[in-house]
Every structure is written in C-alpha cells, then in structure tokens.
Structure 1
C-alpha cells in the first residue's frame, strides 16, 4: 500500500504542471516604460499639441519697443533692440526663435538666451539647449552658466555686482528649487502616464483583433498536458487566434478545454473616457482650454471664441508679459538706457471684440479729458486736450 502511494507521488511529480496556458500578454508586446519627460513631447499627441499651440500662437505677436517720454510711452520703430527682436540672428527669424524659447520654457522649465556682443552691445541672440546648460554654484550662489557641447564647454560669468550675464535665464516658478524652473511635464506626469498607457493598450488590443486576454484551462486528463501537447496547442493558438489578421475567426477547442477571460472588458474599463480625462488634465497643466484640443464632451465654454479668449487672457498674455519684462530689463543693461519692451495687443484677433468694447467705453466717458483717453490707449497728448 505504501509502495503504491510512493509511486503515485513520484509519478505526479514527474508530470509537468501544464494545467493552463496563459494568454494575458499574447499578441501584446511588453509595454515599455512610459516616456514622461522630453520624450512625452515626441510620443504624446496631447503634449505635442499643447506645446505647439502655445509656442506658435505667442511667438507670432509683434514686439513693440518704447521709451518713457514725460510720462507717456513713445514707440521707436528703428531701435536696434526692435531689429534684434525681429531678426535675432542669421539663422532664425523672430517668430521661429521665440517659438523655440517658449517651447524650451514649457518642456524644461528653463530657457537660456545667449547674446553675442559687438562694442559691448548685443549683435545677435541665440537659444542655448536647456539640457546642455547649467548653473555654476559657489557657496550656494550662481556665479556663471556652463554650456556643454561636442566641442567642449564654455563658461559665461555672472557679474557679482549687478548680477547680469551674457546669458538671460528664463524659468518657471519652482517651489523647492531656486535655481531651476519647474517643467509643465512634471506637473502633468501622472496624466501623461495614464494617457500613454491607454493609447498603448488600445493599440495592443487592435493588433490582437480586439480580443480580451485570457487563459486556456485543461479540465480533463487530471489537468495535465504532456510537453508535446502543450507546445502544439500553444503554437496553434498563437498562429490561428492572435493578431488582427485572425480577427473574426472562431476559436475551436478540443474536448476538455475551456477558455477563461482574465482581463476586464474594454467597454467596462472605458478607455476612451480615461484618455479624454487624462487629456483634459494635461491641457489643464499647460493652461489650455480642453475644448481647443477637440476633446469630445468638454464644452466648458459656449463657443470656440470664448475658449480662445480664455487661452490668451489666462495663459498667453501672462507668458508674453513675463518674457517682455525679462527681455527689457536684460537689454536695458547692455544698451545703458531704459528700454520698455511690450507686444502689440491690437494684433491679437481673439481680443478684437473686447478691445472694441473698451474703446467705446473710453470714448463715451464724459468725465475724462481727451488726453486722458489718449493716454489709456497709448497715444501721445495733443494741444488743448486737457480740457473737459
């Protein structure tokens, strides 16, 4: 009796436990780690669209160079600074250059503009790659910028007196780092991860003919298959059942075999809504109304005109204000004169209706003098315009 029991035990151990075939990842290549960071710009369509929408829209607004003349701004059309902003260098026009500056600031949280000098004045300005530029610190204080390239490294010192340098560092606010800015991609990293995973899952599901993952369970023959049976069954299922080429073909099972789904139904998981929700959060991190990205079901604004107006007032105008202030302060140092850099708000088509309403209210204001009205719209005073 004991002998029969031992034979039964050793016989069971000699059998390979092929009780089921796992098809959880069949037809689905292993998902690579989600490329959050700069790769997200190349791999994620929502990130790509957000960055391009902001950079292209803001960079095409014309610059205005002015001086303070007795309390009013006087525009200077042929100032060297205006020519520099319009044509930063021989390789880039103004719109292309500042589009790259804004994109770098969004993706890296930092943008570095280098000035090449002639007679101690900027002759050309270039954008240094943010991933190749860093601050040099001494005693926790920045003393220079280091730019590393294939030809070596270059150091651009920061003046210890006025803290000025040939490099203008533009950065986003960072709550824990006073030296570098926070990238929009960091704030949206979880949403980018979710959106990329949902996209990869949908793509994998389509490659597998929209079939759910599952397991083939052997119910008879004591729940075991020989090595030859296991390999033959696995090969047949892989060849006849997986991939989009076999979509719609029935699964023929032999006796004693049962198919058990091991994944949640795509309809139950609602991947489309998950993608849309993640896309809305990514757009929120960049300050873009999701309606402008064409996301279904998002109608926060009654029409596209209101959405575009919100984009300009809440995102693009503050961005251009910060950029123009930084450029004006930096270039004023090199030209040794007060230079006021602004952008032409009148050229922004999304603000036309609001601007017309403002002008109508100013024009109808009976308690203001003509020169006061002209001052509000940036015009010079005229003789006899101070009387009501």
Structure 2
C-alpha cells in the first residue's frame, strides 16, 4: 500500500477491488448532503433514527445468549468447552467482551454494509481470539483466485494483511457476492430527504424562530415609540417568570397570536414521516426506536415479536452462518446459535401456557421445560451436557 493509500485509510476512505467498483456506503449521498465522499458512514448516525435503528438491532443481537453445539448423529449437545464457547463467556480479547464485539460488528455492517473480525488462532489451530476492525480502516482487494484480501490500517501508517479464512466478514446484501452495500446507500434519495428536512429545521431554529404573537398599531409609530413599546413589553411579558401576566394595551394596539404556517406544519409532518421511512429501511417497528405516534399497549408487544421475527432473526442467521463458515472446518459437527427465544416467547403467561401444552402433548418433559427456562434439571446432576 502506497503513502496515498495509507493516508486515505487513516482518514476513513475505502478502496474497492478494481473488479468491483462499488461506491462506499455513504458516498451516494455526498453531493447533496455535504458529507465527503468515501468517509466513514458514521456520519449517518447524525440522523437520530439511523442511530436508534442501528443501536436497537446491534445491542439486541449482542445481548441474546450465544451457544456452541455439536451434532452427534441426530442429537445436538451444547459444547461448553469449545474455544469459541470460552470466548463467548470470558471475552473475545483483552479489550472487548463478546457483547461488545457483536455489537460493533453488527453496527458496522448496518451502516457500511460490511463488518470484519480478525480470527486469532493458537498453535494447534484453535480459535483463541476475535479482534474487531472498523470497516473504514479496511481496504479490500480481489485476488486472481477470486478470494478477498483485507489490508487493515492502524491509523499510524502500519498495515496488516488478512485473507479469507483469517477473518469473519459479515455483509449486507451485495451486488457482486463479495462486498456488501448498505441500505443507506441503496435508498440514498430517502435518506437525503430526511437529512435535508432536519437541516432545514436546524437552520430555522438557528436563524430565528417564529414569534409567539404580534402587536398591531392602527397608525404609524416613530422609531422611539417602537423602541419604548418593545422594551416595555419585554420587561413585563418576556420569559418564564412573566408567564401568565395580564396584557394591557391602549391607543388602538391589538395583540394577535402567531399561528404556525401550513409550510411549517408540513415540515413537521415530513420529519415524522422521515422517522418511519428510515425505520422501514432497517425493518425496525417504530415503537422499538421510541416513535409512539401510532402505538398502543396492545400493539407494542406485537411490535417486539415482529422485530424479533422479521429483523433480528435474519441477522442472527447471517451471523451464525458466517461464524460457522469461517471458524469451523467443512463438515464440522459444530455450529453457533444465537437464542432469540427471549424475544419470541412473549409474556410469562403466554410462555407458561405454551409449556403446559407441550407437557400435556408429550413434546417436552419437566426437565426440558426447566432447561428452556435456564434452570437446572431436577433429576440430573445440575450440569449442562458437554463433550
């Protein structure tokens, strides 16, 4: 990597493979929104809805239980002594826990379309650590073999090189099957519209908001009269301490309350709709990110289950598949599972009614129900099965 490439990587620029000329995630928005082409998509988090959606998905997937299982014939057993299980329990490296690592990986993928973890291995080839690298510091090249090469800058002019098999590359939907493209850039017009509405509102407030009312005079006032009236009005009626004071006018003066203009009302509706638009991009129900415009106590629970089923579950499956592909050899009996049952099983009454039906139908026994709830079995040793 040359000096220019290293400086660009330090600044957060991305270089794509020559055979895959994709724009960086936020680059499509640069001409209209003022964001510089190629810079990190973290700029998108200036939009509160983008930040809320990213945080909701990333933190939810980071906190759900993760377990490694091994298949023995038709039986699947939890493998608590697997090296990956130890990373899940004790941390992926000296600086980051499993939750931190997954949260960063997913957030990067949501914002840029790609997330990268370096795989550290011990002398016997077993995974011994996972290192998160911001995608803005990664340069990707396609080798003649078709495999990808990842050059990772450290911000100090140094570069490390990884190839497939040495990294976990989580990606959003791609155009070429290799480099992910974020949904922010795929829906650039939508996100640009929301950004421009926010900028307009910010400039409106910065340059002066509408007055609460106006005082009308039937004739023409001198400059001295206007100044005296303004100072008298401000001293008696401006500020919270003067709220509610009676207003006395004479000499034909009239007070008229200023109403919000149709244009300003339309701006407010546009900003509200912008929240729904971005939430739709990430497939996050608005109540999950704090938009309760159309919310009730009834549909909030439904929104949580919808969030788990149609948003979290597909991402969980992508993570499981990518970890299995990158960490476990082909044909390996091991697999990673992110347990979303806490989202899917609903409230305690619904959950225990489901357990009752399963017991009565003979689908589960009492110890299996206790295991689902995270409790030790009554009839066993109290230890989880291991191999």
Q: Give the TM-score range, shorter chain.
A: 0.5 to 0.7
User: Which residue in 2 is equivalent to 1:129?
Assistant: 134
Task: Tell whether 2:106 aligns with 1:111.
Answer: no
User: Which residue in 2 is equivalent to 1:26?
Assistant: none
1:155 match: secondary structure:
strand
2:328 match: secondary structure:
helix
CA contact (8 A) 2:143 2:149 kept: no
User: Which residue in 2 is equivalent to 1:195?
Assistant: 194
Deviates more, 1:182-191 or 1:74-83: 182-191
2:127 match: secondary structure:
strand
Larger radius of gyration: 1
Task: Tell whether 2:153 aligns with 1:153.
Answer: no
**For 1:211 and 1:343, how far apart are their aligned partners in 2?**
51
**For 1:135 and 1:281, how far apart are their aligned partners in 2?**
31
User: Which residue in 1 is equivalent to 2:208?
Assistant: 209
Q: CA deviation at 1:146?
A: 2.1
User: Which residue in 2 is equivalent to 1:331?
Assistant: 327
1:142 to 134, 144, 147: 147
RMSD: 3.6
* Structure 1 residue ranges without an equivalent (≥5): 1-31, 159-164, 213-239, 241-247, 249-263, 383-388
Q: CA deviation at 1:183?
A: 0.8
**For 1:208 and 1:144, how far apart are their aligned partners in 2?**
49
Correspondence list, 1:227-242, <5 A: none
**For 2:161 and 2:323, how far apart are their aligned partners in 1?**
21
User: Which residue in 1 is equivalent to 2:336?
Assistant: 341
**For 2:304 and 2:341, how far apart are their aligned partners in 1?**
15
Task: Tell whether 2:287 aligns with 1:291.
Answer: yes
CA contact (8 A) 1:135 1:142 kept: no
CA deviations 1:353-373 (Å, max 9, x no partner) are 56445433332326x6979x9
CA contact (8 A) 1:312 1:350 kept: no
Q: How many residues align?
A: 291
Task: Tell whether 2:93 aligns with 1:89.
Answer: yes
1:73 to 71, 76, 85: 76
**For 2:55 and 2:271, how far apart are their aligned partners in 1?**
20
TM-score normalised by structure 2 residue count: 0.65
TM-score normalised by structure 1 residue count: 0.65
User: Which residue in 1 is equivalent to 2:310?
Assistant: 314
Deviates more, 1:281-290 or 1:355-364: 355-364
User: Which residue in 1 is equivalent to 2:168?
Assistant: 168
**For 2:63 and 2:347, how far apart are their aligned partners in 1?**
16
Q: CA deviation at 1:39?
A: 4.2
Structure 1 residues 144 and 360: CA distance shift in structure 2, 3 A: same
Correspondence list, 1:233-252, <5 A: none
CA deviations 1:326-362 (Å, max 9, x no partner) are 212322229x942121123444486455644543333
**For 1:300 and 1:140, how far apart are their aligned partners in 2?**
55
Q: CA deviation at 1:192?
A: 2.4
**For 2:54 and 2:182, how far apart are their aligned partners in 1?**
12
